[in-house]
Amino acid sequence: MNITYLQEEIDKIVASSTKIDEKLQAICDFLEAEISYYDWVGFYFKNGDKEELKLAQFTGEPTEHTIIPFGKGICGQVAVSNENFVVQDVSEQDNYISCGWKVKSEIVIPIFVNGENIGQIDIDSHTANTFSAKDEELLMYICKKLSVIL
């Protein structure tokens, strides 16, 4: 994984003159295309004043999980903990919401705006034990860049 190249391309997307929704979709599409083991890439955001997340832009197979209550699944846990969550083997998680039988690992990184957790980027992989510190670094970089424009 060439972090420098990926960060430069993300910078171009974030700096583009397109609307926020289009930037988020472009990030999903770019990551899924560039990183072979990123099989589903999406954003969830807090759904107004409700204690739940709502699916926004994504790339990959459609999911029935368009609304996720806080605390439920990996995404819901990140909404409560405000911490990164890397799951190398989803079968070992008791509080896991399956998005499909192919998903073997997942990484979720929160997005903060003015210190508030407003959403997250969620990556699913069909490969177990695939995420590294480089993935976490890249996704944290993306979330930090997005926090400035959201």
Residue ranges per domain, the chain?
3-149
The class of domain 3-149 in CATH terms is alpha beta
Tell me what pLDDT residue 46 has.
Answer: 98
Q: Identify the sign of the CA torsion 15, 58, 132, 87.
A: positive
Tell me what pLDDT residue 96 has.
Answer: 87
Separation of CA 57 from chain center: 10
Tell me what pLDDT residue 88 has.
Answer: 97
Q: Give the integer Cα–Cα distance in Å for 77 and 27.
A: 23
Tell me what pLDDT residue 99 has.
Answer: 73
List the chain residues with pLDDT less than 70: none
Tell me what pLDDT residue 26 has.
Answer: 98
Please give the single-letter amino acid code of residue 6.
L
Phi-psi region of 134 (alpha: psi -120 to 50; beta: other; left: phi over 0): alpha
Q: Which of 41, 39, 63 is nearest to 125 (CA)?
A: 39
User: pTM to 2 decimals?
Assistant: 0.96
Tell me what pLDDT residue 67 has.
Answer: 97
Tell me what pLDDT residue 94 has.
Answer: 86
Give the residue carrying structure tokens 């860049």.
145
